[in-house]
Amino acid sequence: MDRAETSGWQAALPRDNGCVAPLQGTAERRVPPERAALPPASVGASPNSAQNEIDYEFTEQAVRPGLYLVGTPLGNPADWSARAQAVLQAVDLVACEDTRRSGLLLAHFGIKQHLISYHEHNKAMRTPGLLRFLSQGHSLALVTDAGMPAISDPGSDLAAAAAEAGFPITVIPGPTAAMTALAASGLDSRRFTFEGFLPVKGKDRSLRLKQLAQEERTQILYEAPHRLQKTLEELLLEGLGQRRLVLGRELTKRYEEYLRLTVAQARAYYQTVRPLGEFTLILEGREAFDARQPEPEPAVAQAGLEAELEPRLRDLLQAGLSVKACAARLSEETGRPRNELYRLCLKLKDKFTDL
């Protein structure tokens, strides 16, 4: 564009040391800067269609001022929607995790745009400028390298700041590794938690791993290849060796792979095979794991209960509590009937010849 064209709306572009990535593709932009019409929808649905059905009469005419969170392909360009492409062509500016990587994607689809970087290492510096850009009535799209921005992604900070400032936020949905792997896992998807990346080290990581062990629902985690073996080892140490685990990698790409193993099997496998690619882990929750365990025989169950309660009962008796008081305390702690525990306490007390 010549100087006259850049003197208006583009003058408001947020800059870092005066540097904004140039237009991707050819020198001319397909869409006039004022706004661009998005592809019209087909007409055919009744105006009385149920709310959860597709609105075939809706036609999104143009982008509006505000923030657009635009999903990008995980690895297969055929997954990218026409709406996402049209919005990225039409907005005033695109903020991306890696301008080179996003530039290649846009160029592949013939999209010419101004790009500006927004990532973990510059988000604190970049956010105020992008908010000023939005305050001047411009439209801004945010994309990540792959998948949905603001989901386990630095873009969540920009989305939060834009929401706090009252700017409109529009989501252009796209694929996510978490939902893709969950759908393919075969594990319970009715109730699940998304953990994203675990803390790298320290008390936060240790606490999170202990919480994972107690979580009843299916859990979704992301992990880098160089940390996978450490994570599997720590899950094993938390007693999760027999939990089902689905490991997805290279999702939607040519060499997409899902491994359906237990945690113990996965650890053994990756001791002999080098992990490659970013991993999405789907871990069986405690509820589903417990449900598939065989019921113990009554005698075995009774022996297990006695072994579990014996140390606690000894502590209570040594503290001076009566058998009746011990049974009441253990009933509160375990939720088991007081009468049952009273009989058990009497039986176990006879073993404590030193009390």
Mean pLDDT value across the chain: 85
Tell me if the domain spanning 3-175 has CATH number 3.40.1010.10: yes
The tens digit of pLDDT for each residue in 333-353 reads 777 888 888 888 888 887 776
pLDDT reported for residue 331: 83
Name the pLDDT band for 13 (thresholds 50, 70, 90).
Answer: low
The tens digit of pLDDT for each residue in 143-156 reads 999 999 999 899 99
**pLDDT beyond 50 at 7:** no
**pLDDT beyond 50 at 19:** no
Q: What percent of the chain has pLDDT over 70?
A: 81
Give the pair of three-digit tokens for residue 97: 């995790």
CA angle 136–145–284, rounded 5-degree value: 120
pLDDT reported for residue 192: 97
Please state the domain extents for the chain.
Answer: 3-175, 178-291, 298-349
Specify whether the CB–CB gap between 11 and 39 falls below 8 A.
no
Specify whether the CB–CB gap between 122 and 116 falls below 8 A.
no
Least reliable range by pLDDT among 3-7, 54-58, 122-126:
3-7
**pLDDT beyond 90 at 93:** yes
Specify whether the CB–CB gap between 177 and 101 falls below 8 A.
no
Residue 15 φ then ψ, to 5°: -125, 150
The tens digit of pLDDT for each residue in 292-306 reads 887 755 666 677 777
Angle between helices 323-334 and 338-349 (to 10 degrees): 130
Least reliable range by pLDDT among 7-21, 209-223, 246-260, 275-289:
7-21
**Residues 255-266, mean pLDDT to the nearest whole number:** 96
Angle between helices 155-165 and 123-135 (to 10 degrees): 40
- CATH of 178-291, picked from 3.10.20.90, 3.30.950.10, 3.30.70.260, 3.30.420.40, is 3.30.950.10
**pLDDT beyond 60 at 158:** yes
Q: What is the pTM of this model?
A: 0.71
**257-262 and 279-283: which strand pairing?**
unpaired
Least reliable range by pLDDT among 26-30, 36-40, 256-260:
26-30
